[in-house]
């Protein structure tokens, strides 16, 4: 776990402030966005960073290499196995190409042109490729996993080094989930959760997902996984990874 976390930290540092801080979109979709993606794909990462930065939740459908669960759906709907692939049932839009998806999300939900940093698309893609290199094959190749009856819920923000291993395993096991973004909006939210607890700091977050987590669990710590199939809720990456393997694994992990 130590080496896993170390390279995840590197990926976070490579992406600097991307996928951490949120400015909630002016408009929120009534129905969940659906994103077919591969966790360690550098192009998919750019879209997930934008989801965090706009505070948009989404249904995630993992499509790792050799995966058979959701990749055929993408081919059927779009004509090719290319990722990311966004489906927005609110507008009827279905689209490939990360930078085009990012522009669409800003125009449709932030109701503005994409920020300057996203106009340097090739530079952002290069940085994301470097982040992917630090994780090598993690979150890329399918492994056997059971399909839950109801979607799991993962409270996360894209650049969290602790949430990344959880998303990678969900991707490898082809387990779909609702991504509930919990980016940061306040200075106090940059303080590590154990320190916040010792100082009795409870940031009054602007983000609904953070408020819900605080009210339901008494604290905000990322990642947090809720499984409605078993009514289990877990903090801590290592505990969540063990739970996923024990509950949905079909072979020794």
Q: Please tell me which residue, 189 or 112, carries the higher pLDDT value.
A: 112
Reduced to 3 states (helix: H, G, I; strand: E, B; else coil), residue 54 is: coil
Structure tokens at 114: 């994409």
Give the sheet arrangement for strand 93-95, strand by strand: 93-95, 85-88, 33-37, 58-62, 177-181, 152-156, 224-227, 232-235
pLDDT tops 50 at residue 252: no
The pLDDT tens digits for 31-64 are 999 999 999 999 999 999 999 999 999 999 999 9
Measured between alpha carbons, how far is residue 192 from residues 17, 188, 195 in Å?
16, 9, 5
Spatial neighbors of 76 by CB under 8 A, at least 6 apart, are none
Reduced to 3 states (helix: H, G, I; strand: E, B; else coil), residue 66 is: coil
DSSP state, residue 87: E
E strand intervals along the chain: 33-37, 58-62, 85-88, 93-95, 152-156, 177-181, 224-227, 232-235
**pLDDT value of position 253:** 41
The pLDDT tens digits for 197-209 are 776 767 778 899 9
Poorest-confidence range of 37-41, 140-144, 183-187, 236-240? 183-187
Q: Dihedrals φ, ψ of 184, to 5°?
A: -105, 140
**pLDDT value of position 247:** 97
Q: Dihedrals φ, ψ of 86, to 5°?
A: -105, 135
**pLDDT value of position 240:** 98
Can you give the length of the chain in residues?
A: 253
- Compute the average pLDDT of residues 222-229: 98
pLDDT tops 90 at residue 109: yes
**pLDDT value of position 190:** 66
The CA radius of gyration of the chain, in Å to the nearest whole number, is: 17
Residue 251: band (very low, low, confident or very high) from pLDDT cuts 50, 70, 90 = low
Structure tokens at 68: 């058979």
The pLDDT tens digits for 114-131 are 999 998 888 999 999 999
Sequence spans of domains, the chain: 1-72+84-223
For residues 192 and 214, the answer to whether their CB atoms sit within 8 Å is: no
Mean pLDDT, the chain, integer: 92
pLDDT tops 50 at residue 152: yes
Q: Dihedrals φ, ψ of 181, to 5°?
A: -70, 140
**pLDDT value of position 201:** 66
| Calpha distance 72→94 (Å, rounded) | 15
Spatial neighbors of 235 by CB under 8 A, at least 6 apart, are 217, 219, 221, 223, 224
**pLDDT value of position 121:** 87
Give exposure, 152-174, as e/b (b: 16+ Cβ within 10 Å). bbbbbbbbbbbbbbbbbbbbbbb
Containing 102, the helix (H) or strand (E) segment is helix 98-105
DSSP state, residue 52: H
- Ranges 10-19, 90-99, 215-224, most confident: 90-99
């Amino acid at each position: 776990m130590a080496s896993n976390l170390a390279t995840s930290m590197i990926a976070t540092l490579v992406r600097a402030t991307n996928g951490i801080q949120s400015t909630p979109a002016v408009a929120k979709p009534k129905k969940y966005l659906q994103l077919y993606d591969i966790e360690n794909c550098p192009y998919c990462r750019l879209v997930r960073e934008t989801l965090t930065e706009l505070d948009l939740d989404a249904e995630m459908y993992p499509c790792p290499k050799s995966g058979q669960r959701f990749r055929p759906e993408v081919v059927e709907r779009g004509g090719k196995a290319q990722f990311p692939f966004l489906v927005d049932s609110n507008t009827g839009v279905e689209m490939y190409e990360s930078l085009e998806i990012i522009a669409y999300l800003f125009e449709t939900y932030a109701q503005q042109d994409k920020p300057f940093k996203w106009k340097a698309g090739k530079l952002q893609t290069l940085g994301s490729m470097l982040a992917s290199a630090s994780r090598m094959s993690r979150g890329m190749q399918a492994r056997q996993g059971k399909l839950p009856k109801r979607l799991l819920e993962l409270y996360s923000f894209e650049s969290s080094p602790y949430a990344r291993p959880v998303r990678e395993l969900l991707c490898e096991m082809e387990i779909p989930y609702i991504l509930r973004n919990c980016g940061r909006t306040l200075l106090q939210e940059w303080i590590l959760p154990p320190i916040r607890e010792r100082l009795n700091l409870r940031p009054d977050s602007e983000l609904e997902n953070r408020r819900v987590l605080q009210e339901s669990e008494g604290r905000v710590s990322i990642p947090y996984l809720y499984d409605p199939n078993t009514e289990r809720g877990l903090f801590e990456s290592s505990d969540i990874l063990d739970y996923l393997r024990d509950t949905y694994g079909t072979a020794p992990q």
